[in-house]
Structure 1
């Protein structure tokens, strides 16, 4: 377990807070494990009617920790932590809400495609710079993004790495509502209202809306297979070296 993921249950809402503000909530392997365990616990807890993801002011999630990726690339294989988290998120039967402020990079954006409600502040910025790092999309984003926003906007996001502001993200369909302040409070209020509704009826309605998710799970696994190969590619190695040389 890690202190970088905080979980609480209040008024039927399990809040999963990414709490690594010094790294802008870049996700480590331990954080993935903790979020997977939190999702599984929420699904099993009868006191929980809704799941809420939040981050830190100015940084919802800056994506994967690239230092972890460097170590993984040297080892020649992708551990299961990311896959386990994405499976748990994609298969979640209970509603999932997210409150976003500031940076939502890489998986900080693509995880939102699996949420049922996303609130964001005007300061939010969504970006998936996979190709710039010599990598490819994940979280079934190559399947879900074109469905949400069409092929051309999906190409802008996933292949070109174009940043989307909150208003454009709302137009594209993966942000539900823009809130001017206190996104945590607004998101919790929405999650609490969902949790107060008849639980089984909500779960069944979500299942009908989401439909059969086997194609999503299949795409997650296919993307991870390609992603793992890209991690050890010359392009990715050069991109990582350039990134860390700039930081140094």
Structure 2
């Protein structure tokens, strides 16, 4: 059986690839756990200096695996999805996302924590939390309004509007738009390799300085969002919407 998370290393660049194409890279609890473990290990490994996260050339991720999510929902702040969030926000090493195709839900909110985001023109970013009876996660309620302003953030979080790659770059959610998946992955690798020539301690300290001003507020927001997310999952609204969505995709 092929692993659902591929971990490969070239020089000091670690690439983590979501590898569940038959499910559009939908994230299960076991995938969240594995990703968190790999990121935590990479942060401690002196042979890793930059990390790329991708879903391959066709799809970044369709978000949560709804069946797994409904059967094993997060019930506490140490649940697998929330543990991944903690690993990402405290990651010391540069994180680059190569986003090809769809990036739904946490596939979009994860990008708010990446140091660079390379994206394909045909990408589809969407955060349908309200549509599913849920609330934002991964600090999106704090970071999106700061990045985009209230009105634009509201369009994405309240209305659940989608963005393509060009629109994502225009809004500042991504850095560079590429024509296809092959170019996107190559650009991410090139971006990571550029870091290898830089003084490593200066690089790490600069990332810490970039994150420090918002870290306490982000941790507080993450806690509030996640506790409310657990509460929302137990609501009639969310159960109805999630089950209806699951029936449509099965």
TM-score of the superposed pair, with normalisation by structure 1? 0.95
> Corresponding residue for 1:77?
75
- Pair 1:49 & 2:45 matched: no
Q: Give the drift of 1:80.
A: 1.2
Query: How many residue pairs are counted as aligned between the two chains?
Result: 245
Q: Distance in 1 between matches of 2:13 and 2:176?
A: 19
Q: Give the drift of 1:77.
A: 2.3
Asked if structure 2 preserves the Cα contact closer than 8 Å seen for 1:99 and 1:119, the reply is: yes
Further displaced range: 211-220 or 6-15: 211-220
In structure 2, stretches of 5+ residues that fail to align are none
Further displaced range: 61-70 or 26-35: 61-70
> Corresponding residue for 1:217?
219
Q: Distance in 1 between matches of 2:226 and 2:239?
A: 17
> Corresponding residue for 1:227?
229
1:85-96 → structure 2 map (5 Å cutoff): 85-96=84-95
Q: Give the drift of 1:216.
A: 1.0
> Corresponding residue for 1:174?
173
Q: Distance in 2 between matches of 1:244 and 1:42?
A: 34
> Corresponding residue for 1:119?
118
Q: Find runs of 4+ consecutive structure 1 residues off by over 4 angstroms.
A: none
Deviations 1:35-61 (A, max 9, x none): 101111110111111111011322101
Deviations 1:131-183 (A, max 9, x none): 11000100001000011111111111111110011121112212011122321
SS at 1:236 equivalent: helix
TM-score of the superposed pair, with normalisation by structure 2? 0.94
What is the aligned-residue RMSD (CA, Å)? 1.4
Q: Give the drift of 1:245.
A: 2.6
> Corresponding residue for 1:130?
129
Asked if structure 2 preserves the Cα contact closer than 8 Å seen for 1:132 and 1:161, the reply is: yes
Q: Distance in 2 between matches of 1:25 and 1:70?
A: 17
Q: Distance in 2 between matches of 1:246 and 1:31?
A: 23
> Corresponding residue for 1:40?
40
Q: Distance in 1 between matches of 2:9 and 2:119?
A: 22
Q: Give the drift of 1:244.
A: 2.5
> Corresponding residue for 1:10?
10
In structure 1, stretches of 5+ residues that fail to align are none
